[in-house]
Amino acid sequence: MEPHTARVYLSGDYDSANSDDLRQQLLDQRGSATHVELDMSAVTYFGSAGLSAILDLYHQLISSGGNLVITQASTMVHTVLALTGLDQHLLQHPGPNTGHETD
């Protein structure tokens, strides 16, 4: 049986002013999923409180045998994850992706 995956799209700013809202949004959209894929390509600001909300969900999922992966990351998100070393654990793709690149 394949695990249930929730795909969550986040956009805008995530900081201490709205980190509780982010936590609730993640829980609501996760539902009973054991795996969560986050598209963060439209996130314009990503502070430590936003990162903490993501990490809370990550730890919940890992402890229950699930996983969280960021499938798309804006330059802002990628920079924060790279500075903290979490890019190696959370990012599906190694480089920044704003979702707006052209070839």
Torsion angles phi and psi, residue 49, rounded to 5: -70, -35
Segments making up each domain of the chain, as ranges: 5-90
pLDDT, one tens digit per residue, over 28-48 is 999 999 999 999 999 999 999
CA-nearest of 83, 51, 82 to 68 is 51
Q: Read off the pTM.
A: 0.84
- CATH 3.40.720.10 matches 5-90: no
Query: Measured between alpha carbons, how far is 64 from 74 in angstroms, rounded to an integer?
Result: 28
pLDDT, one tens digit per residue, over 48-69 is 999 999 999 999 999 999 999 9
Query: Measured between alpha carbons, how far is 37 from 60 in angstroms, rounded to an integer?
Result: 14
Token pair belonging to 86 = 């979490």
* Contact call for residues 69 and 40 (beta carbons, < 8 A): no
